[in-house]
Amino acid sequence: MGKLPPQALEMEEAVLGALMIEKDALTTVVDILKPESFYKDAHKEIYRAILDLFAQSEPVDILTVTQQLRATAKLEMAGGPFYITELTSRVNSAANIEAHARIITQQSIKRELITIASEIQRDAFEDTTDVFQLLDRTEQNLFTISESNIRKNFADMRTLMQQAIKELEAKKDHEDGLTGVPTGFSALDRITSGWQRSDLIILAARPGMGKTAFVVSAMRNAAVDFNMGVAIFSLEMSSVQLVNRLISAEAELESEKIKKGNLAQYEWEQLHYKIRNLESAPIFIDDTPALSILELRAKCRRLKAQHDIQLVIIDYLQLMSGDSSGKGGGGNREQEIASISRALKNIAKELNIPVIALSQLSRAVETRGGEKKPQLSDLRESGSIEQDADMVIFLYRPEYYGITQDESGNPTTNMGEVIIAKHRNGSLDTVQLKFVGKFTKFADMDTGNLSPFGSATFPEMNAIPSEFDMPPGTITLGSRANRGVPPSSGPAPDDNPPF
Residue range 175-322+334-444, CATH number:
3.40.50.300
Over residues 462-488, mean pLDDT = 41
> CA-CA distance, 276 to 292, in Å (whole number)?
34
Per-residue pLDDT tens over the stretch 364-409: 777 776 677 787 877 766 567 777 888 888 888 877 777 777 777 7
> CA-CA distance, 336 to 331, in Å (whole number)?
8
Q: Which of 22, 236, 350, 399 is catalytic?
A: 236
Confidence at 66, pLDDT banded by 50, 70, 90: very high
Please, what is the average pLDDT of the chain? 77
Query: Hey, is 421 helix, strand or coil?
Result: strand
* pLDDT score, position 467: 38
Over residues 127-142, mean pLDDT = 83
* pLDDT score, position 449: 40
Question: 50-54, 207-211, 326-330: which has the highest mean pLDDT?
Answer: 50-54
Q: State yes or no: is 269 an active-site residue.
A: no
Q: Side by side, which strands form the sheet with 230-234?
A: 283-286, 230-234, 311-315, 355-360, 200-205, 391-396, 415-423, 430-436, 441-444
> CA-CA distance, 253 to 82, in Å (whole number)?
85
9-149 adopts what CATH topology?
DNAb Helicase; Chain A (1.10.860)
Give buried/exposed letters for 193-202 (b at 16+ CB in 10 A, else e). Answer: bbbbbbbbbb
Domain boundaries, the chain: 9-149, 175-322+334-444
- Segment among 171-175, 249-253, 334-338, 452-456 with least mean pLDDT: 452-456
* pLDDT score, position 283: 86
- Nearest residue to 334 via CA among 379, 396, 284, 270: 379
Contacts 24+ apart (CB under 8 A), 426-431: 426/191, 426/192, 426/193, 426/391, 427/191, 429/191, 431/185, 431/187, 431/188, 431/191
